A and B are shown apart, each in its own frame.
Chain A
Amino acid sequence: MSATVTTVSKAGPTAGEARTEESGGLRDAVRRRRKLLAGGGVLAVLLVLGAVLLGGGGWPAGLTADISGPLDAANEWVVDNRDTHPLFLYFLLHLSNTATDAVNGVYQGLDALGWLGVMAAAVLVAWRSAGLGRRGLRVALTAFGAFAVCGLLGMWDATLLTIALMVVSVAIAAVLGALIGLAAGLSDRVDRALRPVLDTMQVMPAFAYLLPFVLVFGTGTPAALFCTVIYAAPPMARLTALGLRGADPAALEASVSLGANGRQRLWTARLPLARRQMLLGLNQTIMMALSMVVIAALVGAGGLGEEVYSALATTDVGKAFAAGLPIVLIAVWLDRTTAAAGDGTGTPGAAGSWLHGGRAWALVAAAVAAAAAVRTTTWPDTWTYDISTPVNKAQEWITANLTFTEVWAREFTLWVLNPLRDGLVWLPWWSVLLLVAAAAWLVGNWVSAVTATAAMAAIGVLGVWAKSLNTLSQVLAALVLTLVLGFLAGVLCARAKRLERWVRPLLDAMQTMPQFVYLIPVVALFGATRTSAIVAAVVYALPAVVRITTQGLREVDPAAVEASRSLGASTRQQLLGVQLPLARPALQLAVNQGVVLVLAVVVVGGLVGGGALGYDVIKGLSRGEMGLGMTAGIAIVCLGLVLDRVTQRTSRTPR
């Protein structure tokens, strides 16, 4: 899996790169055709051989290894020893107590500031990060609006608790990520060794490792915090490494010629040059952390997630929405603020340059202190507005009137999902392995073929073959839907700028609104079926695909498009003949992100009737059966690996 850049702003390739790639395209195509022919021949021979030697059917029971026994034993050991064993007393318990104290400290700090103080801090920091001009004003207004709405929705206290958890987990994730990124950016070997680790950290569902963390660190803040850190650190690590590697050689050359040694060069040239990437990494880390808010609530971390989760028990969509909206708003506020800081608009050069650096920060601090001195407490109760009733009414009306969704879901299940699943399950196990190997080899090289086959075989060995194929059928269906819709929407957005501006807040909301909020509407529309799981996945994965596609098409060299137009190409010809081929690397990244994000929702799918691996992961957590949950989690990681290898070309650009 490559970098998980969900709100991509710099992911697209430059037109220059795309063109050089195109010039080698012809040779590439010839080689591919030859490879295809050879591959087809070998595959046919192997299929016949396999049929004769191995017979058909699912994964043979003799070739499985049950890992749930040892895992459950480990689980038991932890429960029996955690109050007495030195490892816990002298190390792990300190970690968990420190974590609790840190989050508690931040929360109490925010609470002491009062609502006026918190708001002043958010607005002023946003303004300071984005500079004095109109942009600064807009970012500051976004911050003000976000907090005001959180208060108005009656979620002030929950919002503060969530922010406290976010501050601490993002801080740890950022430091950890930066350190890992530093190591990976400076050494190729470390980079190669870390990549699969980072992939696993992101694709392994948090539900699967939540249980071991709860057992070791206890329910509540610590387990939630550490899980959030695991999930959120990879983008920081990846983008830091990317920034360090991508530093302008000329600048490095200059610093060497000035006699800088290795460390000086790192501090004075490489790290400053990587600043933009690192800030983008921080931005992504924040978004990832926010998406864990509801999952954190499952182990009792409180905050907005708990509000969402408890609303589910009464199937109160309105209340869930009222708690989900602040999460979206916090995300928007932090996204705009960190993005502005990343662009460096707040740095000198602009008008009023006396208002920058330490002086401006002192001003911000003074203003916040003044606001805090007013000693307001939490948000006043009378200033709240209950949106749950209108939202519930709207939801009921929609689900009562959109009856075609159910028919559609039924047909989709009967004509697409069932045949796909039954077909995959019906295929003899060795032929699935062969298919995977062949596909990965055709797309990449023999290394990717071996990796993909090994991952697929691991699924069989774990004893979850049939369930994994069921999940795979759902993932494939969701992926195809996401890509078709995403590419279409991306093309439209790239062509109509105004449309993109309208769609942007919607995409933001789709990406950051916890999936738990739309769980009930999805079931109300499509029933507790696999189709619901697929719809939930599409909603979550679509924005990233749309964004990357739009960005990729936008950055296609205008000269190439102009040239084709002057040759008399129609709009359609321009799009199909020039823009899409040139934007291919971006489209590939979009496919990759589609895979990662669809897999991320497999577990949520288990909550709405998706069954298979997703259900096993939730069951493992809620029944305390670590073996079951971890096995399914590992199988999901393996599926991710397979899908990655069969969809991504190996001629990867350096990251």
Chain B
Amino acid sequence: MRTVRTFRTAVAVAGAFGVLSLTACGAAETGKSNTAGGDKTVKLTVPSWVGAQANVAVAKQILEKELGYKVKTQQMGEVLAWDALSKGDIDAILEDWGHPKEEKQYVDTKKTVVKGGDLGVTGHIGWFVPKYFADEHPDVTDWKNLNKYAKDFQTAESGDKGELLEGSPDYVTNDDAIIKNLKLDLKTKYAGSEAAQITAIKKYAAAKKPFITYWWTPQWLNAQIDMVEVKLPEYKEGCDADPEKVACAYPNTPLQKFLNADFAKEGGEAAEFLKNFKWTTEQQNEVALMIAGEKMSPEAAAEKWVKENEATWKAWLPKK
């Protein structure tokens, strides 16, 4: 009796899956959009940091108001965004801090992604200490003196070493190798997310406590909390080639735009506009600070900037 029942159940389950797979009688469309929500549409990814949100907000404002497109934005991690760009789930990444592995795979090998040119903003990663601490101890800004201050950076988490605060796993970092190769009494502590890192920095700054952190420019927080970069051994082309042996500073990275190959060819005015999109670090920071510092919505911040900077963005519009 029991086996009969089990058998019947199995048939029922198999039947259900059968019906499901019946829908699979023809080949599916591959380039179909995977977002719930609408033909003149541009799909952009919104990275998690505010500078990149500013790019997208301004691009969206102009695409919608000036060129009559509908812009759909999707939030996701950086590597996922590359994958989605390759598939055509999104059309463009406006700010990329360097993903050599993905660039090789999608731009050089599969040719599903093409370069979109410079964003105009130059990014730089480094180690930073707060200005109030650097003012008291000016020699902390040279890596050679860091071991002297390791004690000041000590926390319950880092034991007898100084704590070097790190951010999200998304970010490019060689810090563990740098510490080891320069023989520093520091230990990395991964906050795990940008939000946690910023909150921790704000907390230190409010209490005027010493700290050292992995940090970068452009970043809106830099307008609120003054930080000074610690000089690491100078960056030379190729000194970061072997991730195990890095013992030098991070390079200055001109941030890049990337477009889906099909979109770049067939995207018309929108694609042309996104290729032309180029502004300065200061301009990006202006919008970013409105969003993060003044807690304006990205739309409102972009609207304000677009109203005040007509000359800048008129140059980005496709030539008629």
Q: Do A and B come from one complex?
A: yes
Known: A218-B87, A306-B75, A624-B79. A100 touches B35 (CB 8 A): yes
Complex interface: chain B residues within 8 A of A530 (CB): 157
Complex interface: chain A residues within 8 A of B191 (CB): 523, 528, 608-609
Residue in chain B with minimal CB distance to A92:
B28
B75 engages A297 (CB within 8 Å): yes
From 168 to 193 in chain B, residues with beta carbon under 8 angstroms from any chain A beta carbon are 168-170, 189-193
Residue in chain B with minimal CB distance to A164:
B36
B291 engages A314 (CB within 8 Å): yes
Tell me if B208 counts as interface (CB < 8 A to partner A). no
CB < 8 Å: which of B23, B46, B110 contacts A94?
B23
Tell me if B137 counts as interface (CB < 8 A to partner A). no
> Mask for A289-325, Cβ within 8 A of B = 1, else 0?
0000000011111100010011011111011000000
B197 engages A623 (CB within 8 Å): no
Tell me if A499 counts as interface (CB < 8 A to partner B). no
A218 engages B79 (CB within 8 Å): no
Tell me if A453 counts as interface (CB < 8 A to partner B). no
Tell me if A383 counts as interface (CB < 8 A to partner B). no
A388 engages B295 (CB within 8 Å): yes
> Mask for B25-49, Cβ within 8 A of A = 1, else 0?
1111110111111000000011011
Complex interface: chain B residues within 8 A of A88 (CB): 28, 30
Complex interface: chain A residues within 8 A of B65 (CB): none
CB < 8 Å: which of B24, B76, B190 contacts A91?
B24
Interface segment, one of A180-188, A429-437, A576-584: A180-188
CA A554 – CA B154 in complex, angstroms? 49
CA A94 – CA B32 in complex, angstroms? 11
B36 engages A610 (CB within 8 Å): no
Complex interface: chain A residues within 8 A of B81 (CB): 219
Tell me if B118 counts as interface (CB < 8 A to partner A). no
Complex interface: chain A residues within 8 A of B24 (CB): 90-91, 94-95
> Mask for A404-418, Cβ within 8 A of B = 1, else 0?
000001100110001
Interface segment, one of A246-254, A473-481, A613-621: A613-621
Tell me if B309 counts as interface (CB < 8 A to partner A). no
> Mask for A441-481, Cβ within 8 A of B = 1, else 0?
00000000000000000000000000000000000000000
B83 engages A79 (CB within 8 Å): yes
CB < 8 Å: which of A107, A217, A299 contacts B37?
A107
Tell me if B5 counts as interface (CB < 8 A to partner A). yes
Tell me if B225 counts as interface (CB < 8 A to partner A). no
A186 engages B6 (CB within 8 Å): yes
CA A140 – CA B134 in complex, angstroms? 61
CB < 8 Å: which of B9, B110, B189, B195 contacts A312?
B195
Tell me if A622 counts as interface (CB < 8 A to partner B). yes
Tell me if B50 counts as interface (CB < 8 A to partner A). yes
Tell me if A611 counts as interface (CB < 8 A to partner B). yes
Complex interface: chain B residues within 8 A of A575 (CB): none
Interchain residue pairs with CB less than 8 A apart (5): A83-B87, A98-B23, A298-B75, A302-B74, A615-B192
**Interface residues in chain B, defined as those with a beta carbon under 8 Å from any beta carbon in chain A:** 1-2, 4-6, 8-10, 12-13, 16, 21, 23-30, 32-37, 45-46, 48-50, 53, 74-84, 86-87, 89-90, 102, 105, 110, 155-157, 159, 165, 168-170, 189-200, 202-203, 206, 291-292, 295
**Interface residues in chain A, defined as those with a beta carbon under 8 Å from any beta carbon in chain B:** 79-80, 82-83, 88-91, 93-98, 100, 103-104, 107, 161, 164-165, 175, 179, 182-183, 186-187, 189-190, 211, 214-215, 217-222, 262-263, 297-302, 306, 309-310, 312-316, 318-319, 388-389, 392, 399-400, 409-410, 413-414, 418, 519-520, 523-524, 527-530, 532, 606-611, 614-615, 618-619, 621-624
Known: A100-B35, A164-B36, A179-B16. 6 other contacts (CB 8 A): A90-B26, A218-B84, A263-B8, A532-B196, A607-B192, A611-B192
